[in-house]
Amino acid sequence: MNLILLDNTNTRQILGKDDPRALHIEKYLLGGLSDTVYVGCPDQSLGKARVERQANGDLILEIGWGIREQTEPLLPLTLIVGLSRPQTCRKILRELAPLGIKKAHFVMAAKSEPSYIRSKLWTSREWEQQLHEGIEQAFNVLRPQVVFGESLESALLSHLPDASTTCICLDNYEGQSELLAASEHLREKTVLAIGPEGGWNNSERELFRKKGYQMVHLGKRVLRTESAVIAAGSLLAAQYRCRLQSFDE
């Protein structure tokens, strides 16, 4: 937990002694020469808080907001991923913010078990907590947008290649070139599609081709879905960050 997330931007807040955030602050963040911690309010602001302990064990946070007015924006990356086992989707959700992915669609693919969408991850809004943990890790208050349960065709209707958008489908079996090569020619925005556990089927591959998606691969070794998201997402994110640095210079 690199960032303590709060519900609002009040300058004085109290965390009860049994609050998981208070426990984390006490165990991992305080001590030494500093009694300050970094805090954030999702989609709003970053701040730095001086921590004081009350006699009953509660923590008082005196917060100065806006220490980094220009939070690094989410990158122009959209992920379309075939709905996988809940434990796999949890891992992916936690990585969206650290990767800087702006939007993610978890779609019902041919090899997605129908029961997956009925898991507590999606029905109890646990998915929001997974995003929450990703923001804490990323030290960035901006939340990726998440859509789940729609069909692949529906997601593709919203994300087609054009003059400003590169659309890529990752497929180990029929990818024509390596993602690394394709990433050298990215447009302003990129859509990356990664199959569920078991990959895309032939009908889905044909649908991607009809929609104008480039079929690429990550090499001869087959990765787990969550590993493919991290590997491919990191490569594309690095390309965009290099561009942003070039513009700044």
Per-residue pLDDT, averaged over 240-249, amounts to: 69
Q: Collect all residues with Cβ–Cβ distance below 8 Å to 171 and sequence separation of at least 6.
A: 195, 199, 200, 205, 208, 215, 216, 217
**CA pair distance 168, 216, nearest whole angstrom:** 7
Q: Which residues contact 31 (CB under 8 A, 6 or more apart)?
A: none
Q: Under CATH, domain 75-248 is a member of which superfamily?
A: SPOUT methyltransferase, trefoil knot domain (3.40.1280.10)
* pLDDT for 163: 96
Mean pLDDT of 190-204: 97
Q: What is the CATH architecture of 4-65?
A: Beta Barrel (2.40)
Band (pLDDT 50/70/90 cuts) for residue 242 is: confident
Express each pLDDT in 27-41 by its tens digit. 888 865 458 999 999
The percent of residues above 90 in pLDDT, for the chain, comes to 84
**Full-model pTM:** 0.92
pLDDT of the residue at 168: 97
CB 29 within 8 A of CB 50: no
The DSSP code sequence of 90-115 is HHHHHHHHHHTEEEEEEEE-TTS-GG
Q: Is 81 helix (H, G, I), strand (E, B) or coil?
A: strand
Cβ-Cβ contacts under 8 Å for 218 (sequence gap 6 or more):
170, 172, 178, 179, 228, 231, 232
Q: In the prediction, which pLDDT does 69 show?
A: 57
Q: Which of the residue ranges 65-69, 112-116, 142-146, 202-206 would you say has the lowest mean pLDDT?
A: 65-69
Distance CA 217, CA 170 (A): 5
For residues 75 and 88, is the Cβ–Cβ distance under 8 A? no
Q: Which one, of 77, 103, 88, 127, lies nearest residue 233 by Cα?
A: 77
Which two tokens mark 188? 């302003």
pLDDT tens digits for 159-176?
999 999 999 999 998 998
Where are the chain's structural domains?
4-65, 75-248
